[in-house]
Amino acid sequence: MLNHGLTHFDEHGQAIMVDVSGKKETYRVAVASGEIHVNDAVYAAIEQGNVKKGDVLGVARIAGIMAAKKTSDTIPLCHPLPLAKCSIDFTMVPETRTVCAEATVKVTGLTGVEMEALHAVSVALLTIYDMCKAIDKRMEITNIHLDRKSGGKSGDFVR
């Protein structure tokens, strides 16, 4: 069976964890982003800091960092990585009532941190939803993607 260049399958089509034991450690960075679209009431509550559950963006930032550190616990074939840095930044866009999240993850390791950055952004946005759902359940999480990455055998990527 052909695997079409997919690294997480063996020659028989079985799912595998990629063997990185022969790789050299390199410095790697990944940046991912996404957004959550909210209504006026949610946007104002986040901006004014009066959501009943607390500091929405502060809690979402911590949740995203925790998610990055636990990516291999939730994405089955990811390697556990000793992250050197994870940061989550938020930008409020009043014209579209959008909160944009960006995660930057760094490691010196045998494999990249794209999944950690994507996981961090996803969980940060889900946390915003969770903390604000009492105000409105129609929030929409969109546009989660890898913006750029550097390091490793495949080199640099810029979206």
Q: Which residues are catalytic?
A: 130
Residues 6+ apart with CB under 8 A from 155: none
E strands along 2-155, which residues? 26-37, 85-93, 98-109, 140-150
- Name residue 128's amino acid: I
End-to-end CA distance of the chain: give it in Å, rounded: 31
Number of C-alpha atoms within 13 angstroms, CB side, residue 98? 13
Closest CA to 123 of 105, 141, 150, 148: 141
- What element of type H or E holds 143? strand 140-150
What CA–CA distance (Å, rounded) separates 113 from 157? 13
